[in-house]
Structure 1
């Protein structure tokens, strides 16, 4: 019988596998099809939908991206990876919150394509407009932008230090470190773009139409020449790196109560 800890680990590994598909396809589209990447996140899921068994893959991604988002929320609120509660620790945990929200949005997009064969035109912008119509809605978007800035900082730090290897099995392939460094650097750039779009919409009255999702952020770099190409290659490598993580990432164990996982080094 599979216990709760094993179920938790399996779901998280499916999450990393889904992330691998997402970023690999994103990188390939960015490098080979300007027309598709200009469609933003919808272009990614449309490409996946056209794969053999594309609908099945989309459903797998719904489950996986949702599981990954919950994993990151658990890291934020339960500190399952032992980042601590000092300023640095909370910076990392808030960065994980931004990542969780971003992956929830991606899970929703995958669900829409899996059930109807199309995304929601301007879905992120409509959601942002709904948030801005609320009391303190602009502040919520702005704070979310700050969370993405923190996430970008953490991604850049991982790229420079290679600290992510502490939570990857020693059995992982020897190329894992360099692949991770390249991938995290590319993700840092994309997270800055997403964070700025949210910060601008929330705090600088840039308007909800400025809000960007993952695909939109990459598309916005399309006119930046070599920067766009390097980011696209980096995201492709990050997808392959995520595939390694699906197998070799050290996943926190569930505790004796089967509720709160605790990190094991």
Structure 2
């Protein structure tokens, strides 16, 4: 019989695998000239692509379950300090970032589930612009959008820091292949560029009080298409981040569930 901790670890590993599938296919769609329209929709474009290929529906259900597992994993870091970042300023910022990631992956889990059931979603860009328009219409709405933009810029700096330092390997098993670190360097660099573009688009929207500048993940990469080699490198970096995430599904150190069944703690 599989205990709760083992089930938890398998769910988290499925989450890393699901993240890997999304990023790998997103990079592939960007690098495939005929698939730019789907790629510009970001993860929703990936789910739409999976919906159209043989065997795509079971994969979508697994992605939905995996995204849910990954979301719970990140939220456990926020609420229970599952990753042991502590309660100092740096630890709190890291845990808040994990909480935001958890919420985002809950949305992705729901979206993947809808596609698996044969439904579809409106364009991610339209959703983002509608949400931004609503926020901008409120008191201090521009300030709120600007703050979110600054958070994305901060996240871009954090991603760049990981790409440079390689500290993402601290929670990876020493049994991981030697090329894992290089995959991480490329992937986190690409994410830093994308997050910076998204953050800047939000700051522009706040400054101009207009939602037309807001870019989603897919649109942020698409906006680099005229930059030639930069676009290709970022798209390839996202694909490599997908491969990195698939490696993490096997070799990432995942905390066990504690005796109370709620607070995870790392194995010694």
TM-score, with length taken from structure 1:
0.88
Match of residue 176, structure 2, among 172, 177, 181: 172
Residue 79 of structure 1 aligns with which residue? 81
Residue 54 of structure 1 aligns with which residue? 56
What are the superposed Cα offsets for residues 115-166 of structure 1, whole Å, 9 maximum, x if unpaired? 3442223223333444455665555444433333332222211111111111
Residue 213 of structure 1 aligns with which residue? 216
Residue 18 of structure 2 aligns with which residue? 18
Residue 261 of structure 1 aligns with which residue? 264
Shift in Å at residue 21 of structure 1? Answer: 0.5
Aligned partners of 2:47, 2:262: CA distance in 1, in Å? 33
What are the superposed Cα offsets for residues 176-224 of structure 1, whole Å, 9 maximum, x if unpaired? 11111111111111122223334444x4354334333322222222222
Deviates more, 1:216-225 or 1:172-181: 216-225
What are the superposed Cα offsets for residues 19-66 of structure 1, whole Å, 9 maximum, x if unpaired? 010000011011113343344443222222222211221121112112
Contact 2:47 2:112 in 1 (8 A): yes
The 1:181–1:48 alpha-carbon spacing in structure 2 relative to 1, beyond 3 Å, is: same
Match of residue 228, structure 2, among 200, 212, 225: 225
Deviates more, 1:151-160 or 1:96-105: 96-105
Residue 153 of structure 1 aligns with which residue? 157
Aligned partners of 1:10, 1:104: CA distance in 2, in Å? 18
User: 2:122 aligns to what SS in structure 1?
Assistant: coil
**Paired residues, number:** 264
Deviates more, 1:164-173 or 1:28-37: 28-37
Name stretches of at least 5 consecutive residues in structure 1 with no aligned partner: none
Contact 2:136 2:209 in 1 (8 A): no
Deviates more, 1:49-58 or 1:111-120: 111-120
Contact 2:22 2:43 in 1 (8 A): no
TM-score, with length taken from structure 2:
0.87
